[in-house]
A and B are shown apart, each in its own frame.
Chain A
Amino acid sequence: GENVEQHPSTLSVQEGDSAVIKCTYSDSASNYFPWYKQELGKRPQLIIDIRSNVGEKKDQRIAVTLNKTAKHFSLHITETQPEDSAVYFCAASGSYQLTFGKGTKLSVIP
């Protein structure tokens, strides 16, 4: 089955700096890669996703890049704000099942 590794597990950045979270996956058949944000005590919510026929996707301050050859994808958050503080999960899917990474706790220091 699919295996998703996510790094780092924790990340602290100063407000206004950029944050990058990286994930690798094992199953070359995976073709859908979403990112979820989970605030403390709340549900995971989709913030951006990318499909295997696209190398990069951007939505305001967040962007995701995908390298299918290397089987890794990354989340980039620019101009970080305190409200970006949360746990971020990457996931990969080739069918119905999303396999999640272990999460990255992002802390944005004002």
Chain B
Amino acid sequence: DAGVIQSPRHEVTEMGQEVTLRCKPISGHNSLFWYRQTMMRGLELLIYFNNNVPIDDSGMPEDRFSAKMPNASFSTLKIQPSEPRDSAVYFCASSYSSLGDGYTFGSGTRLTVV
């Protein structure tokens, strides 16, 4: 298995533009997580999907952020409009378990909003 695949690896965009981050989880994993990593706040959970259904989106910072999982092999995280404070590394992770174990992280997307 190729692991969790994220794209793009790097994204530089201007403030106000829409940004879409993509994730392909490991086949057979039924849980998918989007995390944001910054120096100040560390790793923060944004949203959790189980069997393609959003279970917990309490970490989504505001309405500018949205996430979808139309099928078991694909998820997107969208920011519209983007702001400089959204600059961070966004990780997608998938797991075979709903008990916190079995996490595998993707390589992340480094987002810079100028």
Q: Which residues of A contact B (CB under 8 A)?
A: 32, 34, 42-46, 49, 89, 91, 93-103
Contacts and interface: CB of A to CB of B under 8 A. Distances in A.
Nearest to A49: B101
Given A100-B42, A100-B43, A101-B42, A93 B101 contact: yes
A32 B105 contact: no
Nearest to A101: B42
B105 A45 contact: yes
Given A96-B55, A100-B43, A43 B99 contact: no
Given A34-B101, A43-B107, A49-B101, A97 B48 contact: yes
B50 interface: yes
Chain B, interface residues (CB within 8 Å), range? 10 to 19
Interface of B: 31, 42-43, 45, 48, 50, 55-56, 91, 95, 98-101, 103, 105-108
Contacts of A96: 31, 48, 50, 55-56, 95, 98-100
A94 B100 contact: yes
A99 to B, nearest CB: 8
